[in-house]
Structure 1
Amino acid sequence: MSTDYMIINALGILDNPNAEHSLAAAHKLSQDSDDLTIDARTIADAHASGLTAVNITLGYTLGDAEPYPHTLREIEIWDRIIADNPGDLVKVLTADDIRAARRDRRVGIIYGFQNAVAIGDDLTRVKQFHDLGVRVIQLTYNQANHLGDGSMAPENRGLTAFGREVVEALCDSRIMVDLSHSGEHTCLEATRLATLPVSINHTGCRALVDLPRNKTDEELRLVAERGGFVGIYFMPFVNATGHARAEDVVEHILHAVNVCGEDAVGIGTDGTVTSIDDLDAYRARLAEHVAHRQAAGVGAAGERADTFPFVEDLRGVDQFHKLIRLLEQRGLSSTRIEKIMGANFLAYADRIWS
């Protein structure tokens, strides 16, 4: 029997993807919290999986919505979701809130952005978002924005002058600077510039699979050397064919540990706990979704109509326990597995949110 580890997902989704409007959301470019279904199954599955806390994506990521008002509305929606489920969910503002969630058998909800566009040109919004409970802000999505280049921006230019000011403001407000989806030069520059350790909450290792969404050893090592955190995702980018398996995730975790050390690596699945029940129906919808993303210029190399945006044999309520079993089979100690499954993220949160 595996040890009862604290499980913290550095980037995930709380949703029942089988609900009618949640499935329909696969056709949309924007990610709207109104499209999520936080029902009895969603919550029961989260508890059954052993999840202690998850960084969820809210606010503007991409699409036609006005970023700032859309983001404020999304925060209100999540505040209401948590208020409607006080026995099961709790808003995370500090690392101690994660510890309390585990003690109280609730799931901690960490508010995070996957694009910093909602800041606009107003640095005072950084503090405003902090005051509203946002604790993670990713600088860019795949494309370039006014802060810097994302992983799919061909110029790989790094941060803009305003982007450097935003990094400073995020550190001043003690918000995690997440460099997932960033271009290589953006990641390296922000890591060197930041006065607090930064994170890459969901990524893979480019040394294993050479795709833009994966990070180079130089990026991984620099983030770790400066006290940061790296989360490995359960995404198709961990296998060159796009048909990723659980063992591929293990290989990326082990490589990251070798590069970063055992105190910097965790998990950021980029997926739900609740499984999609009808994969055939989902597969039929997926081609349209991928085509929409590509047409809008927001897709990533490695996204294809024939590849799921998750690891097929590492999903559902057993996903974390299966990963633990695989890590045990590879000879990792319980101490090291404990760090990977949640303790490293918790220690990083202590360093940033204190």
Structure 2
Amino acid sequence: MDSHSVDLHRRATVVDGLVFFSDGSTRDMLTGGVSAINVTISEMGADFEQALRDCMAWRQRCAAPDSPWLLVEKADDIARAKQAGKLGLIMGWQNGKPLGDQIDRVALFHELGMRVIQLTYNEANLLGDGCLEKRNAGLSDLGVKMVQEMNRVGIAIDLSHCAPQTCLDAAHHSSKPVLLTHANANAVITRPRNKSDEVIKAVAATGGVVGCSIHAYLSWRGDPRQQPLLSDFVANVKYIGELVGYEHVGIGTDFPSVDTYEAVRHVMVMSRTKYAKSGGDFSDAFGDVMEARYPVETPTPAQFPAFTHALHQAGLTDSQILGVLGGNFQRVFAQAWAAA
């Protein structure tokens, strides 16, 4: 890696917009120079009680003596984590299911430290339709009220797994920036979970950010002999940057933060069996091998500096790269987390 990319990565405050699981390990993230990560702290189908337990468990982990974690509750905490040499934890969900139909739970979970909620996972819930629902019905009336309450208390709205109409409805009804924490452009690589130009523009119009992802379910071009490459990630960054502006682009790897990928074998099996429409074709080609789901150049978060090098080689300016690496997510989190 060239010296300029090394220096640029060292200067950056790196934010990963989506980490789908963590067993508490910070090793590879800190090795890769990452400052903060949005961790999915609950399983996709978790209910209210389980979500409460997960919040409390992570709060205790962060509060433990000599913890390598720093709980991020306001945007300035991300810079604090970098300065302290810790990994900032942004508590998030990938499904609004634990909210049920109780709007007052939004404020409760905010008080416990929740800062990002994806409205739906792949299927429909009480808030709206997920991306694998054929009907594409959008937000429910309850979903609109939840969006408004999340705006009020200061929880960022994630639309990554939402149906197209759900994304458009949420962007329309939100008074604050909304996010696609981990998604790519269908115009670059057509996958069930990627987003149309219309959705990307709607998110950007709110001031939001699209976290371009390296995960194969979003970045695989369909060749059974070739897993994703870092060039596929760069292609999405450049396309979305040119479409709506680089200030609306970030990184959402969909990595886990674990000591060993054996810790997420259950997730690999779940994604292959329960959600075959999303990535079953890739799993058929490569099996349950987590490393194969990421570019050959970046099999783990420890290789995060390779993103900086690839973006520099692709011709992005230093300012654009610093924004993509984390500055853009920091800006939007500051806006989304401010109480209305």
Structure 2 contact 115–156 (Cα < 8 Å) conserved: yes
Does 2:53 match 1:46? no
Aligned to 1:344: 328
Structure 2 contact 297–306 (Cα < 8 Å) conserved: no
Matching of residues 261-280 of structure 1 within 5 Å: 261-272=245-256
Please tell me the residue identity of whatever aligns with 2:283. R
Give the superposition deviation at 1:195.
Answer: 1.2
Identify if the C-alpha distance between structure 1 residues 215 and 46 changes in structure 2 by more than 3 Å, giving closer, same or farther: same
Aligned to 2:156: 176
Give the superposition deviation at 1:317.
Answer: 4.4
Identify if the C-alpha distance between structure 1 residues 82 and 244 changes in structure 2 by more than 3 Å, giving closer, same or farther: same
Structure 1 contact 273–315 (Cα < 8 Å) conserved: no
Does 2:17 match 1:10? yes
Measured in 2, the distance between the counterparts of 1:288 and 1:57 equals 18
Give the superposition deviation at 1:226.
Answer: 1.7
Report the count of equivalent residues: 321
Q: TM-score under structure 2 normalisation?
A: 0.88
Identify if the C-alpha distance between structure 1 residues 180 and 287 changes in structure 2 by more than 3 Å, giving closer, same or farther: closer
Measured in 1, the distance between the counterparts of 2:230 and 2:330 equals 24
1:227-257: CA deviation from partner (whole Å, max 9, x where unpaired): 1111011111212217311110111111111
Measured in 2, the distance between the counterparts of 1:267 and 1:85 equals 31
Does 2:288 match 1:305? no
Measured in 2, the distance between the counterparts of 1:286 and 1:218 equals 31
Measured in 2, the distance between the counterparts of 1:343 and 1:250 equals 17
Give the superposition deviation at 1:80.
Answer: 1.9
Secondary structure of the structure 2 residue equivalent to 1:143? coil
Matching of residues 1-354 of structure 1 within 5 Å: 1=3, 2=5, 3=8, 4=10, 5-13=12-20, 15=22, 36=23, 38=24, 42-62=25-45, 67-84=47-64, 86-236=66-216, 237-241=218-222, 243-272=227-256, 288-294=269-275, 299=278, 303-307=282-286, 308-354=292-338
Measured in 2, the distance between the counterparts of 1:288 and 1:95 equals 35
Identify if the C-alpha distance between structure 1 residues 85 and 200 changes in structure 2 by more than 3 Å, giving closer, same or farther: farther
Measured in 2, the distance between the counterparts of 1:217 and 1:198 equals 15
Identify if the C-alpha distance between structure 1 residues 82 and 156 changes in structure 2 by more than 3 Å, giving closer, same or farther: same
Supply the RMSD in Å over aligned alpha carbons.
2.3
Structure 2 gaps of 5+ residues are 287-291
Q: TM-score under structure 1 normalisation?
A: 0.84
Secondary structure of the structure 2 residue equivalent to 1:332? coil
Secondary structure of the structure 2 residue equivalent to 1:10? strand
Give the superposition deviation at 1:217.
Answer: 0.9
Give the superposition deviation at 1:346.
Answer: 0.5
Q: Which moved more, 1:97-106 or 1:133-142?
A: 97-106
Among the aligned pairs, what percent are the same residue? 30
Identify if the C-alpha distance between structure 1 residues 299 and 211 changes in structure 2 by more than 3 Å, giving closer, same or farther: closer
Measured in 1, the distance between the counterparts of 2:73 and 2:92 equals 11
Measured in 2, the distance between the counterparts of 1:115 and 1:176 equals 13
Structure 1 gaps of 5+ residues are 16-35
Measured in 2, the distance between the counterparts of 1:164 and 1:78 equals 29
1:273-298: CA deviation from partner (whole Å, max 9, x where unpaired): 558579xxx7xx88854443248xx8
Secondary structure of the structure 2 residue equivalent to 1:205? coil
Measured in 2, the distance between the counterparts of 1:116 and 1:290 equals 19
Identify if the C-alpha distance between structure 1 residues 192 and 301 changes in structure 2 by more than 3 Å, giving closer, same or farther: farther
Secondary structure of the structure 1 residue equivalent to 2:232? helix
Structure 2 contact 61–67 (Cα < 8 Å) conserved: no
Measured in 2, the distance between the counterparts of 1:112 and 1:192 equals 22
